[in-house]
Amino acid sequence: MLFLFFEKTQKKGGAWATMVFSSLIFLWLFLPVVFVLNTILPSRYSNGLLLLASLIFYAWGEPVFVLLMALSIVVNWAVGRGIGCRKAYGKLFLALGVFFDLSVLGYYKYAGFGADIINHLAGRRLLPVAEAALPIGISFFSFQAISYLADVYRGETKAQDRLINVALYISFFPQLIAGPIVKYKDINRQLENRAVTGEKIAAGFRRFIYGLAKKVLISNVLGRSADMIFALDVAHIGGGMAWNGALLYTFQIYYDFSGYSDMAIGLGKMFGFDILENFNYPYLSRSIGEFWRRWHISLGSWFREYVYIPLGGNRRGKLRTYVNLGIIFFLTGLWHGANYTFILWGLYHGVFSVAERLGLKRLLEKSRVISHAYLFLTVVFGWVIFRADNVKDAFLFMKKMAMPWLYRELDIAWWRYESNMTVFVLVCGILGMGILQTAAPKKAGDLWKYSAAESLYCVALLIGCIGALASGTYNPFIYFQF
C-alpha cells in the first residue's frame, strides 16, 4: 500500500526532472549558497546543513519522493541499530533490511518489466504492468543503504547512533543520483570528523570544473549527434553511419559519466569529504577484466565485495568461478535498467571475461596493439547493445558495423548529423581519454598542476561551460536513469 501511495502521487512514464550539476540554477544559486553557508557556519552544523541541502536538491523536481528516501533512511538506520545491539539476531536484521531495500528498488525499477515477462510467457495478461515513475538515483542510494547494513553486520564499522549521519550518508547530494557508490566503511569517519581546508577546496573546484567541461563541452556536443543517429530507423542507415553513431556514443557516455563522477568528487572535497575514484582511463585497457577495474570502479567494487566474494569468488574451482562471473555480469546489466538490452550487454561482457580466463588473455598479452584494439572494439560493440532501443535493433546495428561494405548505398551524408565542431570535439575526446595524459612527461604534469596557467585554463573552461549552458537546451545525464 505504501508503494502504491508513492506511485499514485507521481506522473507516469519515467524518472522525474531534477536539478543537475550542469544547470545554471545549480551553478549560480544552489552551490554558492550551500558552499558559503558551510564555510561560515561552525563545523558542528555542517552535517545538518548538507542533509537539508541534499533533501532540497533531491526534491527539486518532485518533492514527494523525499518521503520514500526518508523512509529508506529511517528503516536502514533502525535495522543497523538492531544489528549492532542484537548480535544474536544480526543475520535476521540484515536479511530484513536487505529485503526492504531490494523490494523498494524492485518495485519501482523492475515490477513492470517482470510483469511484462510473465504475461509474455503466459500468452495473456495475468498481471498488471506497473507504470510507477522511477525515483532518480534509486539504484545508487539503495546499494549504499545495503552497504551500510553489510558493513555493520560484518563488524567492519559500528552501527551509527545518530540518525542524521546515516541520513547524510544515503542522501549526500554530490553522489546521490549518479554515484559514485560510496561504501559506508569508506566514509563513516568523515561523517563524524573532517577538515575543510583551503587546499582541499581548491582541489575540489579544480576537479569540479574539469568534470563540468567533460560534460558540457564534450559529452553534450557528441550526444546531440549520437541521439540523432540512434533515432533513425536502423534499416535505413549504412555501415558508415552505424560506426559513426557507435563511436559518438562511446565517447559521449564516457565523458558524461566520468564527468559527473569528477564533479561529485570535486564537490565532496569542497565540503571536506574524500570520495574514491570511479574512473581510470578505461578505454586504455587491454582486456575486459582490466576495463571493469577502470570503468565505474565503485559499482564493480560493490558487486565484488557484497556479491562475488560471498558467492565464493574464485575459491571454489574454475567452473564455479565462471558461474559467479556470469551472475555478477547479469546483475550488472540488470542494475542499469529493466530492459533486455541491458541484460544482454552485461552477459556480453561476462562472456568475454570468462573467455579471457580460459586463455584469450594470454594471447592478448603477446601484442599491445592487438589487445588495445580488441578491447576498444569489444567495448564499442557493447555500447551499441546498451544504447539500442531493443535487441533486434542492436543486432542489426552491429551487423552493419561488422559488414559495412554491404550497406554503403544506405549511407547518409555524415555532415547532416555532425558539424565541424562535433568532429573537432570527437578528436579532442579521443586524445583526452588518457592518451595525452599518459604520454605527457610526469614532470610537465607536476609543473602544470595548480599553476597560474592551469588556473587561467580552468577559468576559461568555466566561462565556456556557462556560455554553452546559457545558449543551449541539450543537457541530459545518461546515468540519471539508473
Which residues are known to be catalytic?
A: 336
Region of residue 367 (phi > 0: left; psi between -120 and 50: alpha; otherwise: beta): beta
DSSP 285: -
Which of 109, 71, 94 minimizes the C-alpha distance to 148? 94
Which of 328, 292, 291 minimizes the C-alpha distance to 310? 328
Cis, bond preceding 63 (omega within 30 deg of 0): no
Which contacts qualify for 22-31: CB closer than 8 Å, 24 or more apart?
22/212, 22/215, 22/216, 22/220, 22/263, 22/465, 22/469, 22/475, 22/477, 23/469, 23/475, 24/466, 24/469, 24/470, 27/466, 27/469, 30/56, 30/57, 31/267
| CA-CA-CA-CA dihedral for 331, 337, 338, 341, to nearest 10 | -80
Residue 28, all three cell numbers? 549560480
CB–CB of 308/328 below 8 Å? yes
Query: What Cα–Cα distance (Å) separates residue 137 from each residue in 50, 66, 324?
Result: 18, 12, 26
